[in-house]
Structure 1
Amino acid sequence: MLDRLRQSQNEYLELLKRVRGDLEIENVAYHLDKIRNFWFRKQKLLEMCSQYLFNNSNTYFYTAVSKFNLDNSDKNILFALGNYQIFDDPILSYLEVMEKGNTVHQIERYFKKLKEKIVESIDDLIVLLEKEIPNFYVLPLRFSSSTINKEKVDIRPFIENFFIEGIDFNNLHKYENIDTVVVHEYLSHILLFDYDDPTQAIKDRLKQYRIEYSDIVPQDMNDTELFRFIIYGYFSQAMDIFLTSYFFNISPFFSSLTTYINYNVFLLNIVHNSKKEKLEHFLKMSRLTFPIWFEYDKKGVELSISEIRERAKNINFSDRIRKIYNVLDDFNTQDQLITEVENCVHLLINYESSGC
C-alpha cells in the first residue's frame, strides 16, 4: 500500500507540472477538474489508507493553510509527531468553494484572490513533492473525506447560535446595526483573524477585519452580512477538518491561533451535544497540537526535518506527548498544559547526540 501511495505522489507531481504549464487565472476551474478527476480515481487507495494505514498509526495532518513553505522551518516540528505526516492539499477544497459560490453575489473580489491563491498553492505543491520527504504525503484529505463520507452536517444551526432568534438570514442586509442582532456573550469565544482582540466591540473588530482583508472583503456587505460571511467560512472549515480527522482517525496540526480557537469552539459544541465518547479523543488532540507548534516557534530555532526527526526519535517525543494527552483532563488550567508542552519542546531543541 505504501508503494502505491508513493507512486500516487509521483503521478500527482507530474500532473501538477502539466497543469501549471497551461494554467491561466481566467481558466483555473477548468484545469482543476483534471486534478479532481485524478483524485477521484485514487479514492479507493485513500479509503484503504484510512482503514489499514493511518487508522493504525500515529498520523498528523497539517491543514487549513494554503501553502507549506519548508523554507520557513517553524513548521518542521510537525515531523516530530507520529509515524506519518500529511499536508492537506487545499486545491480541491478551493474548487468546491468556487463552485458553491457561483450563485452568490458580492464575492467577485474574493474569487479573484482565491484564484491567485490556487496558482500559488500549485507552485508550492510542486516544490513540496519534489523534495520526496520520507513518510510525508500530499493528499486532499478534506476533499476526499467529503467524497467518501456521505454523511453531511448542516452547519447553519451552529452559525445561527451567534444571532438572536427570529433573524431573517435571507435578508441580512436589513440589519444595519449588528449590535442588535448578535449574541454578545458568544463573541469573545471566537477570533475573526489573527491578532483580533475579542474584548473589543464587534463593530471595532469588523472594522479592523475590513482593513486586514481589504483585498477580499465584499465592499457592499454591511457588518451583519460580513460577520456571517466570516464565521460561516471558519466553521465550515472546522466541520470539514473534524470530519476528516474522524474519518481517517488522524490528528490535525495547526499553526494559526484563529483556526485553532475556532476549531475548538466548534468541537466543544459537538462533544457537548453528542454521547459518543470517541469525540473526547479528538477534542483532547486538538488542544495539544497548536501549543506544540507555538512553543517551538517562539524558540526561534532552525532545525532541519532530519534533525527534528532524529531528536524526536532519541527522546521518544511522541511518547512524551502521549503522556501529556493521558493526563490532560487533570490539568486545571491551560497554563499547566503549556508548561508540560514547553518542557517537551525544550528537551527536543536542546538534545545533543552526545548527551541525554
Structure 2
Amino acid sequence: MENNLLLQELSLLQEEYKKILIKAAKDFFSINEEAVIDEINVFWSRNKKLVHCILKYLSEPYKSYVFTAAAILDINDYEHFPFISLGTYHFWDDPIYKYAKISKKLDNTSWGGKLKEQVLSTILDNIKIIENTNGFIYILPIRLFADEEAEELIHKAASQAFLSMFKEKITMEEYRSKYKTIQDIKEALASGVEKSIILSEDDDNSLDLETRFSQFIDLNEIPLSTSATEAEVFRFRLYGFLSQAFDVMLMCTEHRLIPYIRFNVALKYLLILAGNFGDSMELSDMLFKSAVAHIVHHSFDKERINGIDFKTYCDYIRLYDFENKLFRRLDDNGITLLSPSVIKTESIIIELFNEIFDALHHVQI
C-alpha cells in the first residue's frame, strides 16, 4: 500500500517536473540560463522531503538502478531499453543542477557556450524521458541534496587518490609548483600507475602517456584558461574522474542503488577506487551488478529493437525474467567480480536478448 502511494506521488512529481522543463525550454533564450537552472533547483528543493522518502522506502536495497555519470539518457538512441532490463525501479540521475555550479567556475567562454548547449539538450532530453518511458524511468536529482560535508569528503578523497599516484608524498600545492609538463608527471608517477590512467573513452593504454595526453588535448576542448600548463590539465582531468567515481559510490551506498554506467572510463575508475574499500559483500555485489549492467548496455542490439513498442518490451522483459536468468547463468559459469569474463558474459547476455527479440518480433507479426 505504501509503495502504491509513493508511486502515485512519484508519478505526479514527474508530471509537475515536465511542466517546469517545458517552461524552462521556452524561457532558455529569453532569460539567463542560470535563472532557468535556479528555477529547476527551487522546484526540487520544494520537493526535497518527498524525494528522500521515495529513495528510502520505494525499493528494496540494491534492487533498483540509477543511470548516472552521464549528461544525457538518449531516448533517440534507444538507451532506455537496456536500462530497464535490470532492476525493480529505474532512476535517471538528473544532472541539470550541477551546471549552475560549473558555469560559475569557468573562465573559458567558448566552453561556457558548449555548457549552455548541454543544459538545453538535457532539458529537452528530460522531457522526452517523461513522455516516452511510460512511467518506467523516473527523473530525480539524487545528488542535488548532498550536504557540504559530503562534498568536502568527495573533494578530499579525490585529491588524496590523485596524489597517491606519485612516488613522493606531496601536497596539491607542491604538485602545482613542481610539475608543469606531462613528461614531469610521467617521471614522477609511482611504478605501474601509468597503465591504469585513462584519459578518454578512446584512450589506448598500449601507447605511452605523452602520446595519449597529446591525443587527448588535440581531440578535446578543455574548460581551462589557454595559459593552463599540461600538469594543470592533467590534474583537472584525473581529479574530475576520481571525484565523479567517489560521488557515484557515496550516492549509491547512501540510497542503496546500483549504478548503471554507460561510459567505460567512469566504470573503470569506480572499480579502481572500490578496491580501497575492503571486502564488503554489499559493495562487491553492487559493483558486480554495475559491471554486468555496463555489459548489458553495450551488448544490446538496437537494430533488433527497432519497431518494438517500449511498454511491450518492458512487460515482456519481466515476464521472461531476464535479470534472474542472467545472474543464474553467470553464477553457473563461475563469473563473479573477482573472476570476471567479459567475453562469456557478453555471450550469455546476447543469447538471452536474442530469445527476447525473437519472441517480440513474433508477437509483432
Letter in 1 for 2:287: L
Given that 1:55 and 1:250 are in contact with CA atoms closer than 8 Å, whether structure 2 keeps it comes out as no
- Aligned equivalent of 1:311: 316
Secondary structure of 1:219's aligned partner = coil
Given that 1:62 and 1:88 are in contact with CA atoms closer than 8 Å, whether structure 2 keeps it comes out as yes
Given that 1:146 and 1:240 are in contact with CA atoms closer than 8 Å, whether structure 2 keeps it comes out as no
Of residues 339, 342, 346, the one that matches 2:347 is 339
- Aligned equivalent of 1:279: 283
- Aligned equivalent of 1:139: 140
Equivalent-residue separation in structure 1 for 2:17 and 2:148 (angstroms):
19
How far 1:117 moved relative to its partner?
1.0
Letter in 2 for 1:125: N
Letter in 2 for 1:94: Y
Gaps of 5+ in 1: none
Gaps of 5+ in 2: 1-5
Equivalent-residue separation in structure 1 for 2:259 and 2:290 (angstroms):
7
Equivalent-residue separation in structure 1 for 2:342 and 2:227 (angstroms):
40
How far 1:118 moved relative to its partner?
1.0
Letter in 1 for 2:282: K
2:90 paired with 1:78 = no
- Aligned equivalent of 2:166: 163
2:239 paired with 1:208 = no
- Aligned equivalent of 2:3: none
Cα deviation, 1:164-194, whole Å, max 9, x if unaligned, reads 3244523626522332233351232242111
Secondary structure of 1:86's aligned partner = strand
Letter in 1 for 2:88: N
User: 1:334 and 1:6, CA in 2 relative to 1: closer, same or farther beyond 3 A?
Assistant: same
Given that 1:57 and 1:84 are in contact with CA atoms closer than 8 Å, whether structure 2 keeps it comes out as no
Within 5 Å, which residues of 2 pair with 1:245-264? 245-264=252-271
- Aligned equivalent of 2:113: 112
2:356 paired with 1:348 = yes
Greater mean deviation of Cα atoms: 130-139 or 192-201: 130-139
Equivalent-residue separation in structure 2 for 1:152 and 1:9 (angstroms):
31
User: 1:168 and 1:340, CA in 2 relative to 1: closer, same or farther beyond 3 A?
Assistant: same
User: 1:74 and 1:38, CA in 2 relative to 1: closer, same or farther beyond 3 A?
Assistant: closer
Secondary structure of 1:58's aligned partner = coil
Given that 1:251 and 1:285 are in contact with CA atoms closer than 8 Å, whether structure 2 keeps it comes out as yes
Identity rate, percent: 21
Given that 1:163 and 1:183 are in contact with CA atoms closer than 8 Å, whether structure 2 keeps it comes out as yes
Cα deviation, 1:324-350, whole Å, max 9, x if unaligned, reads 565543745443333333333333333
User: 1:309 and 1:211, CA in 2 relative to 1: closer, same or farther beyond 3 A?
Assistant: same
Of residues 240, 243, 247, the one that matches 2:250 is 243
User: 1:307 and 1:219, CA in 2 relative to 1: closer, same or farther beyond 3 A?
Assistant: farther
Letter in 2 for 1:197: D
Given that 2:34 and 2:100 are in contact with CA atoms closer than 8 Å, whether structure 1 keeps it comes out as yes
Given that 1:203 and 1:223 are in contact with CA atoms closer than 8 Å, whether structure 2 keeps it comes out as no
Given that 1:164 and 1:182 are in contact with CA atoms closer than 8 Å, whether structure 2 keeps it comes out as yes
Letter in 2 for 1:14: K
- Aligned equivalent of 1:291: 295
2:57 paired with 1:52 = yes
Equivalent-residue separation in structure 1 for 2:19 and 2:228 (angstroms):
41
How far 1:288 moved relative to its partner?
1.0
Cα deviation, 1:98-131, whole Å, max 9, x if unaligned, reads 34x26xxx54443332222112211221222233
How far 1:232 moved relative to its partner?
0.9
Equivalent-residue separation in structure 2 for 1:107 and 1:158 (angstroms):
27
Task: Return the TM-score normalized by structure 2.
Answer: 0.84
Equivalent-residue separation in structure 2 for 1:169 and 1:331 (angstroms):
36
How far 1:301 moved relative to its partner?
4.5
Secondary structure of 1:252's aligned partner = strand
Letter in 2 for 1:114: L
Secondary structure of 2:139's aligned partner = strand
How far 1:267 moved relative to its partner?
2.1
Equivalent-residue separation in structure 2 for 1:253 and 1:202 (angstroms):
29
Equivalent-residue separation in structure 2 for 1:344 and 1:217 (angstroms):
46
Equivalent-residue separation in structure 1 for 2:167 and 2:116 (angstroms):
35
- Aligned equivalent of 1:27: 32
Of residues 232, 237, 254, the one that matches 1:230 is 237
Letter in 1 for 2:54: C
Equivalent-residue separation in structure 2 for 1:304 and 1:188 (angstroms):
44
How far 1:38 moved relative to its partner?
1.3
User: 1:108 and 1:264, CA in 2 relative to 1: closer, same or farther beyond 3 A?
Assistant: farther
Letter in 2 for 1:62: F
How far 1:197 moved relative to its partner?
0.4
- Aligned equivalent of 1:16: 21
How far 1:28 moved relative to its partner?
1.9
How far 1:252 moved relative to its partner?
1.5
Given that 2:258 and 2:286 are in contact with CA atoms closer than 8 Å, whether structure 1 keeps it comes out as yes
